[in-house]
Amino acid sequence: MWKTIRVTVLLVVLVIVAGRAWLDRVETQSWKSPLWVGIYPLNADGSPRAQSYIADLSANDFAGIATFFEREAHRFAVTLDEPVHIELYPQGKELPPLLEPNAGPFGVMWWSLKMRWFAMHATKVPGRTPSRIRIFVLYHDPSSLQTVPDSHGLQKGLIGVVHAFASRSMAGSNNIVIAHELMHTLGATDKYDFSTGAPLYPAGFAEPDRQPRYPQPSAEIMAGRRAISATDSDMPSNLQDVVVGPVTANEIRWTHH
Ligand SMILES: [Zn+2]
């Protein structure tokens, strides 16, 4: 009897979670009204440098992301004026749960559940409408580390965790990472080689049919890098040099509806 109840409760929870994920996907891929995206800045290392950087942030620092989505969506079948609307929320106090580097599939699943729980509480701002997609941007003092930890974007839960450098000169590349993780929450997949970081041909190329093929004029958002020769690639410094390729556009349903 108890076993039946337990199994029933578990099944109901699973059905609700699956239904929720399905609704989220339909809603975020409909492109009928602006998608509300919230930026939630956090001080990752508790440093004074990250703190003063966050204090100086304004919505304008993220405007390039909305412009990028507008420009690229219009190249495909989306006619919406503002496909993505970016809002800056006040700095949060609590840091999101950490994903261990060798977490394994079960560890990742557990982390994504904890992440959803965290996002539910961390995004409650009095007097502000909660955003549909939540991007937590964790700022690090650039003088204390060479590279930031990996960033993540979850389609199930519509959450992004972005590690960024608290530096004006890095603001453009931070926006590329935010746009990349935002794309993941919408269902886009990575288009680079995980071992080398090189863009994958053809899906990770801005202009795969270009003659000559190299150098590519810009980077594809889910590749993150621009191929300059068969063996070399570089990272663009802002979203003006990044495009959405047809494979990514198809994944996020920038198609005729
Ligand atoms: Zn990615």
pLDDT in tens, the chain (257 residues): 888 999 899 889 889 888 988 889 888 889 999 999 999 999 999 999 999 999 999 999 999 999 999 999 999 989 999 999 999 999 999 999 998 888 899 898 889 889 999 999 998 888 898 899 999 999 999 998 989 989 999 998 899 999 999 999 999 999 999 999 999 999 999 999 999 999 999 999 999 999 999 999 999 999 999 999 999 999 999 999 999 999 999 999 998 65
How many helices (H) and strands (E) the chain has is answered by: 6, 9
> What's the one-letter identity of residue 245?
G
The Å distance, Cα 177 to ligand 1 centre, comes to 9
> What global pTM score does this model have?
0.93
The Å distance, Cα 44 to ligand 1 centre, comes to 20
Please report where in the chains the tokens 């680079």 appear, as a residue.
Answer: 192
Q: Tell me if 92 sits within 8 A of 41, measured CB to CB.
A: yes
The Å distance, Cα 122 to ligand 1 centre, comes to 23
The Å distance, Cα 182 to ligand 1 centre, comes to 9
Contacts 24+ apart (CB under 8 A), 177-180: 177/151, 178/39, 178/62, 178/65, 178/135, 178/137, 179/65, 179/68, 179/69, 179/221, 179/239, 179/242, 180/151, 180/153, 180/221, 180/222, 180/224
Alpha-helical (H) ranges within the chain are 2-28, 48-55, 63-75, 104-122, 171-185, 246-251
> What's the one-letter identity of residue 153?
G
The Å distance, Cα 201 to ligand 1 centre, comes to 16
The Å distance, Cα 180 to ligand 1 centre, comes to 6
